[in-house]
Structure 1
Amino acid sequence: MKNIIVLTLFILSVTNTMAQIIETPANSILAVKSGITIPDTSSYRINGSSILKTKNTSNVILGFNAANTIITGQNNVFLGSNSNGTTSAISNSVAVGVNAKVAINNAIVLGDTANTNIKVGIGTAAPRYPLDVKGVVNMRIGLNSPSLKINDREFLALDADGSFLLSDFRIKYNHEREWSDKVFESNYQLMPIGEVMNFARVHKRLPNVPSAKEVVEKGVEMNTIIAKLLEKVEELTIYTANQAEEISLLKGKLAALEDKSNKK
C-alpha cells in the first residue's frame, strides 16, 4: 500500500507565515516541514506552561517558565525549567539546567546554583565532582594573561617560556618524622666529616641526596627534597659548631704553650 500524505496549509500569525504539516507513516505522529514563526513575547505552551518562546532580541528560551524575569536582556540562551536571569537586563549569557540562574552579563552557568550536588561531566557519564573531566585538559595561559585562581586568589600562571609561576604555596607533611629536626636528637648518627668528604669525592654528591642523573630521570618529590636539604643544613650547623669547639680548645692549648714558653 502506498503512503498517504495529507498536506494542510494554514496561517500561524498575522504576518502570513505559512507552515506545512505532514502526516507520515514513520514514528512521528505529527511532523512539521517548513518554518514556524513565533511572534515576539509569544510562546508554545503545554498545560498552560511555556516550553518554547521568543523574547526581546535574539533570546533562545526552552523550558517551563524559563526566562520569566528577562525584560530588556538580549542574546541569551535559557535551557531548562525555571532557568532564568536574576535581573531583567541580563545579556549575552547562558543558563543551562533546571533552576539554573545567571546573574551577570557574558557568563555561562551550568546547573542550579542552590544545589550543591550538581556535577558536570566531560567524557564521562557518571561525574563525581562539580567538574569531572576524563581526558586531557589543555589550559591556554600565557604571560600577562589571566591565571588560575582559587577563591579569587591567583596561584598559578605560565610565563612566555611555558614555566609555571606559583604565587604562594604550602607543603603539607603527615608526620614529624618526615621533617629534619631528628638531626638534633642525641641518638642521631652523624657521619664523621672525613667520611662525608670521602663519599663526596667518589660520588660527586652528599650522602642520601639524589644524584643529578636520578633527578633528571625520575624527578624529585618536593616534600622529600626540601626536608633532605634542611637535614644537610642542620648537619652542617653541627659540623661547624663542633669545629668551633675544637678551634676554641686548640686556641686555649696554644695560649698555654705560649705562656709557658714566655716564662722560660
Structure 2
Amino acid sequence: MSPVADDFKIINIGNNGWGDYTRNLILLHEMYNGIALQMNNAVGTITAFRGNAGAFNRINIVEINSSSAYNGTLATIRSYDGFADWTLKTCIYNGKKYLALDVPYSAAFHSEGYKFSGWTKSSGENMKSVNYEVNGQPVNTDILSNIQDYTPNMNETHQVNNFLILGNNVGIGTSAPDEKLTVKGKIHTQEVRVDMAGPLVPDYVFADDYKLKSLKEIEDYIKEHKHLPEIPSAKEIQKNGLMLAEMNMSLLKKMEEMTLYMIEMKKENEEIKKEIIILKQQNKKL
C-alpha cells in the first residue's frame, strides 16, 4: 500500500494466490451489521490483468463508489470486461460483515493481480483478496461465509445532449440481453415510434384484386383453430412473446378487412331495403 494523500491510496491487492480455476472476493471495507460504524469507504478503480507470450489476454476494470457509516451502506459499480461481470456481494469474514467484489471468473486467473487506486479506508480488512472456491470445491469456509448478492442503491445520472451506445446489446434489469435493448420489467413512456417498411403496411387489402375471405371461411377457421387467421394463438404468444410492429400490422389488416365486410353488408342491407319497399308496394296493390 502506498498512501498518496490522506486516505487516497494505491494498493497492490495481489492475485488470488492459488492460480487457475479459483473464484475469489475482494473485500472492500467493513459495512453496517447492527452496530453503528465510523466512515468506511472505497471510491476508486480496481484493474485486473493477465497476458504474456504464453497466456492469453484478460483485462477487467471496475469503478467503485461505496461507503458504509452509522447504520447504512451506499454502493454502486461500473465495470468493463471481456469475459464476465464484476458483481457486488456481502459476506461475513472473521466475524465481521463486509462489502465485497466478486472477481469476474475465468478458468485462467488474473496473473498480474489486482491494483486499486482511490480513496479508501476500513475499520476492518481493506482491499483484501479471499478465495471461496478452487476447482469447484469450497475453501476458507472457516473464515468466510454467508456470501450474498448486494443490490446497488445509488443512481447514475447523465445530462448530455446525445447519449450514444455503439456496440452490441444493452440490458436494463438483466445481465444477459438478447436484443439491441432488453428490458426486464415495465417500460413507461409517452410515445413509441416504430420505423416500418412500406410493403409491410397492409393497405393492399383495399386493392381491387385483393381476395377477401368469405365470412363462412372465417367462421370455419375460428371453429377449428380458436383464433383469427394470421393472428398468433395465445400459446404462440406465451412461447415466443408478442412482436408489437408485426401484431399492429396484423390487427390493422383485420380492421381493414372488417371495414370491407361492413361496406359489403351495408350494400346488401340497402338492396334488402329496396326489395322490402317493392314488396310492400305490391302487397298494398293486392
TM over 0.5: no
- Return the TM-score normalized by structure 2: 0.40
Q: Higher Cα Rg: structure 1 or 2?
A: 1
When normalised by structure 1's length, the TM-score is 0.43
Structure with higher RCO (Cα < 8 A, 6+ apart): 2
More strand by share: 2
